[in-house]
C-alpha cells in the first residue's frame, strides 16, 4: 500500500518503511524486509515513539514552521529562538526516558539547523543557490513529516593524510561525476545512526578541507532507497536475544538503537538536492556548527540515565535495601552526574545567538563541555548501576532455564528476595541494567556517548580554541594592578 503523507503516527511511520527493497545486510545475509526483522524492529519502534510523542504531547514535540505556517514535528524545525533549542533538549530527554535508548533523529535535526545558516552565508559569499534549494527541501520533508538521517563520518583511512592523499579515494565520500542533471558520489559513511529507519540521508563532509579536496566538499540529500546504496548493519552485544522466543532475556524488549556502514556506489544526487559542491572554505564551518548543535543534543543521554537510575533504585528495592545509607548515596551520586550533563547542555541552548540567516545557534563552549562530560559521566553512572545490581547482572542464567521443568523451580527458590517480589520482575530489571550497561543498548548509552559527535579529544580542541586565555589573563592582571592590564 502506498504511503499517505504526512505521517501522523508511529504506526503510519512504520508502514512507510515497508516495501523499499533496501540492500541491507545483517549476519552475512540480505534482509528481505527490515521492518519485520526481529533484530532491526526494536530500533524502528524507537523512532516511531518520536511520532507518537508528538501526537500525545504536541506542545513539547511539535511547533509551527515559519516556512510553511503548519504544525510540524520539532525534529524538522529550524530553531528561530533560544527557546526553540531549549524545547529540543526537553523533548530529547523525554524521549530518552520513554525509550531507554537512542531514538535516532537528533543527527538529522542538527544537520538541518547547521545547513540553514551555513548555506545562507555560503550563498552570500559565492553567489550560489544552495540556501534556496535547502529551504525547498525542508518544506518538503516538513509537509511529509519525514525522518532525516545525517551522514557525516567517513571511514577516513590513513588519518595522517587528507582525503585527496588517500591511496583509495573512496575512503571519503566524493563526487566522481558532474553533469547537467546533478552529481554522482562514491564512498562510505560509518556508524550511521538510524540510517535504515530514515526516509532521507543528508551527506556532509566530515572535516575541514583544503583546495585539493574540492571533490570531497559535497552536501546533498538522498532518498534512503536510492539506487547504489548498500547498508551493512552493525552488531550490538546480545543482539540475537531479540530473535529468541522469550522476552525475559532482552532487557529492553521493545526498543534499541541502530548503526550501519553505508556504501555509496555511484549514487546520483540531482542539483536541486545539492547544497554544497566544491566550496571547501565552508566545510569547516559546517562541521563546527553541526557539532555545536549535536554536542548539546547529548542531553538525550540524561533521559536514558533517568531510566538506568530508576532501574538501579528498583533492584535495590527488590533486594530489600532501599533505605541503606550507601545505597541512597550511590543513587544521589548517579542523579548528580546525570543532572550535571543536562544542566550544561540546556545552558548551551539558553545562551544561543542568532546567525546571519536568523537561525539560532547554541553556545559552542558549553556544548563542548556538555559532550565532554558525556564521554565520562554515563560510564560512572553505569558502574554504580552495576554495583547496586550485584553479580547477577552478569551471571543470571537464561530464561529457558527459568522456564524449564528440570531447574526452573530451583531458580525460583534461590533467586527469591522479598516475599512480595516476583522472581520474574527481578529478572527483568537485572536484564534491563545488563542491556543498558553491557548489552545492545550500551551502544546507545556508553559507546555512542564516547564517540558520537566526535571523540573526547575533539571536544578538548574546541574548548581550547574558545577558552579566551588572553582575556582571562587581562582580568587577573587588572586586579593585580599589573601595568599591561589594558587589552591591546
Catalytic site residues? 102, 106, 193, 259, 294, 298, 300, 448
CA pair distance 342, 323, nearest whole angstrom: 27
The residue among 474, 450, 21 whose CA lies nearest residue 223 is: 21
Q: Any idea of the CA torsion for 270, 111, 59, 61, to the nearest 10 degrees?
A: 90
CA proximity to 42, closest of 289, 233, 271 = 233
Apex 49 CA angle, 12 and 447, nearest 5: 130
Eight-state DSSP code of residue 169: G
The grid cell for 269 is 544526487
CB 202 within 8 A of CB 221: yes
Bridge partners (DSSP) listed for residue 360: 354
Q: 315-354 burial, b if ≥16 CB within 10 A, otherwise e?
A: bbbbbeeeeeeebeebbeebeebbeebbebbbbbbeebee
182: β partners: 270
Residue 193, marked binder: yes
Q: What are phi and psi of 292, to 5 degrees?
A: -60, -50
Q: How far is residue 149's CA from residue 24's CA, in Å, rounded to a whole number?
A: 16
DSSP state letters, 430-484: HHHHHHHHTSTTHIIIIIHHHHTTS-HHHHHHHHHHHS-HHHHHHHHHHHTT-GG
Cα–Cα nearest to 197, from 102, 326, 125 = 102
Report helix, strand or coil for 350.
Answer: helix
Helices then strands (H, E): number in the chain?
Answer: 19, 14
Burial of residue 6, with CB atoms counted within 10 A of its CB: 0-12 exposed, 13-18 middle, 19 or more buried: middle
Q: Which residues contact 177 (CB under 8 A, 6 or more apart)?
A: 183, 184, 266
456-466 and 364-374 are packed helices; what angle lies between their axes, rounded to 10 degrees? 150
Integer CA distances (angstroms), 109 to 84, 101, 203, 367, in order: 12, 17, 13, 16
Binding site for FAD, by residue number, is 193
Amino acid at each position: 500500500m502506498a504511503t499517505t503523507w504526512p505521517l501522523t503516527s508511529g504506526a503510519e511511520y512504520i508502514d512507510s518503511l515497508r516495501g523499499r527493497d533496501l540492500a541491507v545486510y545483517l549476519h552475512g545475509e540480505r534482509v528481505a524486509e527490515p521492518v519485520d526483522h526481529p533484530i532491526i524492529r526494536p530500533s524502528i519502534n524507537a523512532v516511531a515513539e518520536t511520532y507518537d510523542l508528538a501526537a500525545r504531547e504536541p506542545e513539547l514535540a511539535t511547533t509551527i514552521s515559519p516556512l510553511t505556517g503548519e504544525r510540524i514535528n520539532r525534529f524538522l524545525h529550524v530553531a528561530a529562538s533560544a527557546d526553540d533549542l531549549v524545547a529540543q533538549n526537553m523533548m530529547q530527554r523525554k524521549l530518552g526516558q520513554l525509550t531507554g535508548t537512542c531514538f535516532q533523529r537528533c543527527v538529522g535535526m542538527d544537520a538541518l539547523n547547521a545547513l540553514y545558516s551555513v548555506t545562507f552565508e555560503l550563498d552570500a559569499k559565492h553567489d550560489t543557490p544552495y540556501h534556496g534549494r535547502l529551504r525547498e527541501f525542508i518544506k518538503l520533508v516538513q509537509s511529509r513529516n519525514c525522518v532525516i538521517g545525517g551522514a557525516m563520518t567517513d571511514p577516513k583511512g590513513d588519518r595522517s593524510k587528507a582525503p585527496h592523499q588517500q591511496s583509495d579515494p573512496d575512503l571519503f565520500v566524493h563526487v566522481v561525476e558532474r553533469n547537467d542533471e546533478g552529481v554522482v558520489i562514491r564512498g562510505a559513511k560509518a556508524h550511521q545512526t538510524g540510517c535504515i529507519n530514515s526516509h532521507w540521508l543528508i551527506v556532509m563532509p566530515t572535516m575541514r578541507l583544503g583546495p585539493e579536496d574540492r571533490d570531497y566538499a559535497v552536501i546533498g540529500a538522498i532518498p534512503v532507497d536510492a539506487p547504489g546504496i548498500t547498508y551493512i548493519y552493525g552488531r550490538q552485544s546480545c543482539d540475537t536475544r531479540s530473535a529468541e522466543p522469550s522476552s525475559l532475556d532482552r532487557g529492553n524488549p521493545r526498543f534499541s538503537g541502530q548503526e550501519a556502514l553505508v556504501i555509496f556506489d555511484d549514487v546520483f544526487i540531482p542539483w536541486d538536492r545539492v547544497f554544497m559542491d566544491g566550496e571547501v572554505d565552508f566545510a569547516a564551518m559546517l562541521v563546527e556548527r553541526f557539532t555545536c548543535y549535536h554536542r548539546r543534543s547529548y542531553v538525550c543521554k540524561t533521559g536514558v540515565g533517568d531510566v538506568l537510575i530508576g532501574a538501579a533504585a528498583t533492584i535495590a528495592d527488590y533486594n530489600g535495601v532501599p533505605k541503606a545509607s550507601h545505597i541512597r548515596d550511590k543513587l544521589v551520586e548517579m542523579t548528580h552526574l546525570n543532572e550535571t550533563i543536562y544542566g550544561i547542555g540546556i545552558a548551551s541552548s539558553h545562551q544561543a545567538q542568532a546567525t546571519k540567516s536568523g537561525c539560532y545557534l547554541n553556545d559552542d563552549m558549553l556544548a563542548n563541555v556538555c559532550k565532554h562530560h558525556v564521554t565520562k559521566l554515563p560510564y560512572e553512572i553505569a558502574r554504580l548501576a552495576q554495583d547496586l545490581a550485584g553479580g547477577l547482572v552478569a551471571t543470571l542464567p537464561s530464561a529457558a532455564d527459568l522456564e524449564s521443568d528440570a531447574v526452573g523451580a530451583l531458580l525460583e527458590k534461590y533467586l527469591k528476595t522479598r516475599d512480595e517480589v516476583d522472581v520474574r520482575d527481578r529478572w527483568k530489571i537485572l536484564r534491563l541494567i545488563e542491556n543498558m550497561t553491557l548489552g545492545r543498548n550500551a551502544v546507545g548509552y556508553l559507546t555512542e556517548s564516547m564517540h558520537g559527535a566526535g571523540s573526547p579529544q575533539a571536544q578538548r580542541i574546541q574548548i581550547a580554541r574558545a577558552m579566551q586565555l588572553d582575556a582571562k589573563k587581562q582580568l587577573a592582571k587588572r586586579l593585580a594592578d599589573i601595568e599591561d592590564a589594558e587589552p591591546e
